[in-house]
A and B are shown apart, each in its own frame.
Chain A
Amino acid sequence: MTGLDPDTDYPLGTRRPDLISTPSGMSLDDLNLEQLRAGVIAGEDVRATAETLRMQADIAEAVNRHQLAENLRRAAELTRVPDDVILAVYTALRPGRSNAAALEEWAQTLEETYDAPAVAAFVREALEVSIARGLIK
């Protein structure tokens, strides 16, 4: 927990901009017209960091939204996962798309290559249920 207080720190963008930056370290203030004209804002850099999403998860947890917090924690991990890998994992999770070994392989990749243990555990849980419900190729 980051010790954030939802009553005083949320919205982070307006109440705690000091805590927020883009993946390359630009502050919210830097995302302005002058910087845009100077050409220093890159489209792919304008997104939430894992740290920001973890803070949002903590805020959600603090207002008793446990499942939303879990979702945001998985999201924090997925910030490290490239777009094409995300789409490949999504496809693998669809019914009848993968065999057990393939799904387990994705879980390992998420865990080891991308440091995404919560997502990996989620994929393994899906694998277990898919086997029980006959949705494995």
Chain B
Amino acid sequence: MTAKTRAAERLARALRLESLISPDPSLGLVAMKSPNDPTPSLVIDDGIVIELDSKASNDFDLIDRFVVAHGLDLEIAQTAMPLADEELARMLVDVNVSRDELVRLSRGLTPAKLTAVMSTLDPVEMMFAMKKLRARKRPRNQAHVTNRKENPALLAADAAEAAARGFAEIETTVGVSRYAPLNAISILVGSQTGRPGVLTQCAVEERRSLQLGIQGLTTYAETLSVYGTDACFVDGDDTPWSKAFLASAYASRGVKIRFTSGSGSEALMGYSEGKSMLYLESRCLSLIRAAGSQGAQNGGVSTVALPLALPGGTKSILAENLIAAWLDLEVASGNDAIASHSSIRKTAKLMGQFLPGTDFVTSGYSVMPKYDNMFGGGNFDSDDLDEWTTIQRDWQVDGGIQPLSEEDALKIRRKAARAIQGVFEEFGFPQVSDEEVEAAVTAYSSRDIPDRDRAADVEAADTVFSKRVSGVDVARALDRSGFSDVAEAVLAMQRLRVSADYLQTSAVVGEDGEVESAINHPNDYSGPGSGHRLTGDRWDRLQALPHVQTSTAAAGVENTDGQFRFDVVGEARVRHDVAEVVVAIGPAFLGSLRHTIGGLGHRQVIEAIVEGVRSGGAEARLVQVRRTSDVGFIAHDAAVLSGADIGIGIQSKGTAVIHRADLEPLDNLELFGMAPVLTLDSYRAIGSNAAAYAMLGQPSPVPTEIDNFARVKHIVRTTLMHAVETGAVANDAPPIEIELLPSS
């Protein structure tokens, strides 16, 4: 092959659609450490901070001022700041240093100090620290539910399925902003149909978002974006104070909030001040805690591909999740926006959050195909759900998604689509037709759903605001349309707004309906045997994937009556000087197994071999070898019996060998190990080649196909079929000569 062809093949890989660049600190294109990052410092004079991270107080920008005013505990700082970076790093990975102690110290650490500590850790140390510092005991996950047609029945069905799959929060958004109230109502109804207690949000402009919360149609919001430089903040039309005020406003209306930030946004907006992405993110996080947010959504989020273009980008993203956890914030750790074209690369990145577990492993798993994801695609989507649950099973790790059978999925989808149909009817909104309901149950994407009158829908949506339709009204409409259980679940969400328990750190609603936060379910990991361990019922549940088979079913045992489908002529004799091929079958052949691993009927296989032998001019004699299941020995036994010293051995799974009596049993003339790819023609050719050997000819070896995936595809059935064959072995039983029964 020429070098040009090699290069072309590699250029065609999806990965090469991405641009990787060398760091350029002047543009903020550097992941963890820029020469322009400040040296950590904190100088306090008479209780007043006069220097923060090498900057004098006169030069403090908005973020410095906010962090100094609200974010630092100066007393703790006096003991925390003098600790060496390496010492703090060692404490992070020391099981004997508690989360409480580390969180206490974090109250006195500056943004540059937090960043400096991160630069001393390697990825596995970061993962370990993450496991220890996560706020809530059990990791959870968040789903994204949207579709291009903004179809309410499909939104409700997808939200219900997401809830039934165990997502603790569901976020929607809009293509057309006036749709917001309808989408909010659709996922509220859907989520509560799937599992009562799932929190929902609708990501739209702040005023609308707050209004939806006020009306009880959503229960959380994570749209409060912050940035690591003043210029970006002002560009985003906010200040730390306006955002913190908004956070209090949401809380006053009983809405859970978390702020959003992420590596790369400052460089993308052109105002990085030449600082590293991690340092700027550390400033964001210090600000987020100072503002009194219970949590943060970070980890690159929508700009994730920018840090991933740089050396250490994936590591830096884990570092920013870790700083958030260290600052005692709930962490929804990204993995939502498409990080890479390469499945390998994005899955490798995911492991940083997936293995240690974060409060929300993704801050939005697309439960629809990418086509319908209005957040810009979705890093992992509905097509990947089985992969995700399989990887959980592989690692015995709880990534917050439960397997769901197709039958259960369809049932819950139908109920949710009917429920939103009922609500629309009660509210006098444009009808959701039966056709839409049925399409929503089974649709792959919104392409499979009838179109709606969008003008009429947005008109109805406007009335949700003008008539102040509330969560209570939704409950009433559900009750009136016969969905009183869903009505009760929506009412329960309203009760949550009254008790406000979910405003505490890392709160979700557990399966028992009680709020589960870092207060009553704190992460108590303190080494092996402690913390959230995937064992017991939860492990049973996460390993029971719908497509898992029992070993008996996978083995393909077809009868257990012990009856063979052939007649026994008698004990097999050794013959001499006869132009014959002895064809020996294994102990379970035509007994409890009746087909090869490739799905060929045993009888047809034998007939093909016999036909091949005869076409080659030799006689064929059928025997069964019962003392072994090893195909080499079976074939050798056959050869020893043969009047021409040539035998064919064939196992029940279809593996065959041509043997000669004078060879060692584990040597052979030809081995056909790729049983799954053998056809009846192959077996015919095996027969005729064996005949040629018997006639002292020089046949060319039978050509066989090679399938590199045969092993991974068939190893389980190979093992199980071989176990059945071995189970049928009778140690001292002599070979018997057999005759096929007439075909039925």
Are chains A and B native binding partners rather than an unrelated pairing? yes
Q: Which residues of A contact B (CB under 8 A)?
A: 6, 10-14, 17, 20-22, 28, 31-33, 36-37, 41-44, 46-48, 52-53, 56, 59-60, 63-72, 74-79, 81, 83, 86-87, 89-90, 93-96, 119, 122-123, 125-126, 129-130, 132-133, 135
Instruction: Decide yes or no: A36 and B472 within 8 Å by CB, A70-B292, A71-B291 being known contacts.
Output: yes
- Which residue from B244, B487, B503 sits with its C-beta under 8 Å from A72? B503
**Would A129 and B215 count as touching, CB distance under 8 A?**
no
Cβ–Cβ contact B488 & A78, under 8 A? no
Q: Is B462 an interface residue (CB 8 A)?
A: no
Min C-beta distance of A49 to chain B, whole Å: 8
User: Which of B143-151, B513-521, B664-672, B731-739 sits within the interface?
Assistant: B513-521
Contact between chains at A75 and B252 (CB < 8 Å)? yes
Q: Is B612 positioned at the interface, with any CB of A under 8 Å from its CB?
A: no
Q: What are 15 residue pairs bridging A and B, where the CB atoms are less than 8 Å apart in the complex?
A: A10-B504, A11-B514, A12-B501, A33-B484, A36-B491, A43-B468, A52-B499, A60-B505, A66-B73, A69-B292, A71-B293, A78-B252, A86-B249, A125-B241, A133-B230
- CB-based contact A10/B470 at 8 Å: no
Measured in the bound complex, the distance between the Cα atoms of B216 and A104 in whole Å is 32
Known: A10-B504, A81-B252. A67 touches B498 (CB 8 A): no
Partner of B519, one of A6, A33, A46, A52: A6
Contact of A95 among B234, B244, B484 (CB under 8 A): B234
B251 engages A75 (CB within 8 Å): yes
When C-beta atoms are compared, the residue in chain A nearest to B496 turns out to be A13
Q: How many A-B residue pairs have CB under 8 A?
A: 206
Residues of B that sit less than 8 Å from A by CB: 61-62, 65-66, 69-71, 73, 103-104, 206-207, 210-211, 214-216, 230, 233-234, 237-239, 241-242, 244-254, 289-294, 328, 468-473, 475-476, 479, 484, 487-488, 491, 494-501, 503-505, 514-515, 517-520
Whether the Cβ atoms of B292 and A56 lie closer than 8 Å is: no
Q: What residues on B are CB-neighbors of A43 within 8 Å?
A: 215-216, 468-473
Main secondary structure of the interface of B (DSSP, over half): helix
Return chain B residues, CB-CB under 8 Å to A52.
498-500
The answer to whether B501 and A11 have CB atoms under 8 Å apart is yes
Q: Is the CB of B61 within 8 A of A67?
A: no
Rounded to whole angstroms, the CA-CA distance of A33 and B479 in the bound complex is 8
- Whether B494 contacts A31 by the Cβ 8 Å rule is yes
A21–B500 CA distance with the chains assembled, in angstroms: 11
> Is there an interface contact between B71 and A94, defined as CB atoms closer than 8 Å?
no
User: Which residue of B249, B292, B475 is within 8 Å of A67 (Cβ)?
Assistant: B292
Check if B498 sits within 8 Å of A20, measured CB to CB: yes
Q: Let me know if B248 and A75 touch, CB within 8 A.
A: yes
CB-CB under 8 A from A46, the residues of chain B are 216, 470-472, 494-495, 497-498
Contact A56-B500, Cβ < 8 Å, known A68-B294, A71-B291, A133-B230:
yes
Do residues B241 and A37 form an inter-chain contact, with CB atoms below 8 A? no
Bound-complex Cα distance A87 to B246 (A): 9
Question: Which residues of A are found within 8 Å of B216, using beta-carbon distances?
Answer: 43, 46-47
Q: In the complex the two chains form, what is the Cα distance from A74 to B503 in whole Å?
A: 13
Expressed in whole angstroms, the Cα–Cα distance for A15 and B471 within the complex equals: 24
> Which residues of B are found within 8 Å of A32, using beta-carbon distances?
488, 491
Contact of A135 among B211, B234, B488 (CB under 8 A): B234
B239's contact among A12, A63, A70, A94, by CB below 8 Å, is which?
Answer: A94
Task: Give A117 to B265 CA distance when docked, in angstroms.
Answer: 35
Most A C-beta atoms less than 10 A away, residue of B289, B290, B491: B491
A72 in contact with B251 given A13-B501, A28-B499, A37-B479 (CB within 8 Å): yes
Smallest CB gap from A79: residue in B: B252
What residue in chain A is nearest B62 (Cβ atoms)? A133
User: Is the Cβ of A95 less than 8 Å from the Cβ of B514?
Assistant: no
Q: Are B500 and A53 in contact (CB under 8 A)?
A: yes
- Distance, CA A129 to CA B287, complexed state (A): 15
**Which residues from chain B contact A72 at a C-beta distance below 8 Å?**
248, 251, 292, 503
Residue of B whose beta carbon sits closest to that of A71: B292
Q: Known A10-B520, A43-B472, A48-B500; judge A67-B70 contact (CB<8 A).
A: yes
Contact between A71 and B505 (Cβ–Cβ < 8 Å)?
no
Whether B470 pairs with A67 at a CB distance below 8 angstroms is no
- Contact for B292 among A64, A68, A78, A89, CB less than 8 A: A68
User: Smallest Cβ distance from B602 to chain A, in angstroms?
Assistant: 63
Contact B61 A133 (CB under 8 A): yes
* B237 in contact with A42 (CB, 8 Å): no
A129, B517: Cα distance in complex, Å: 35
B501 to A71, Cβ gap below 8 A?
no
- Identify which of A90, A123, A135 gathers the most chain B CB atoms within 10 Å of its CB: A90
Chain A, residue nearest B230 (CB):
A133
The answer to whether B472 touches A41, judged by C-beta atoms less than 8 angstroms apart, is yes
Contact A22 B498 (CB under 8 A): yes
CB-nearest residue of chain B to A69 = B292
- CB-CB < 8 A to B479: which residues of A? 33, 36-37
Most buried by A among B233, B239, B291: B239
Q: Are A76 and B252 in contact (CB under 8 A)?
A: yes
A36–B488 Cα distance when bound, in Å, is 10
Q: Are B230 and A47 in contact, CB atoms less than 8 angstroms apart?
A: no
In whole angstroms, what is the CA distance A129 to B65 when docked?
8
B245 touches A89 (CB 8 A): yes
Residue with the greatest number of chain B CB neighbours at <10 A, chosen from A10, A28, A43: A43
Q: A14-B514, A129-B62 are in contact. Are A71 and B247 (CB under 8 A)?
A: yes
**Residue of B at shortest CB range from A23?**
B498
Q: A46-B472, A133-B230 are in contact. Are A122 and B292 (CB under 8 A)?
A: no
* A-B residue pairs, 7 tightest by C-beta: A71-B292, A43-B470, A13-B499, A75-B251, A126-B241, A78-B252, A93-B242
- Contact between A11 and B499 (Cβ–Cβ < 8 Å)? yes
CA–CA, A51 and B520, complex, Å: 21
A46 CB to closest chain B CB (Å) equals 4
A77 vs B484: C-alpha distance when bound (angstroms):
36
Are the C-beta atoms of A53 and B234 separated by less than 8 Å?
no
Nearest opposing residue in chain B for A50, CB measure: B252
CB distance from B471 to the nearest CB of A (A): 7
State in angstroms the CA–CA spacing of A6 and B504 once bound together.
Answer: 11
A36-B472, A44-B470, A47-B497 are known contacts. Are A119 and B491 too (CB-CB below 8 A)?
no
- Alpha-carbon separation in the docked complex, A17 to B501 (Å): 11
Interface centre among B206, B247, B497, B499 (most CB of A within 10 A): B499
In the bound assembly, the distance between CA atoms of A75 and B294 in angstroms comes to 13
Contact indicator A11/B520 (Cβ below 8 Å): yes
B204 CB to closest chain A CB (Å) equals 14
Beta-carbon contact of B292 and A135 below 8 Å = no
The answer to whether A78 and B291 have CB atoms under 8 Å apart is: no
CA distance A94 to B495 in the complex (A): 33
Chain B residues, CB < 8 A from A133: 61-62, 65, 230
B291 touches A47 (CB 8 A): no
Q: Does B501 contact A53, Cβ atoms closer than 8 Å?
A: no
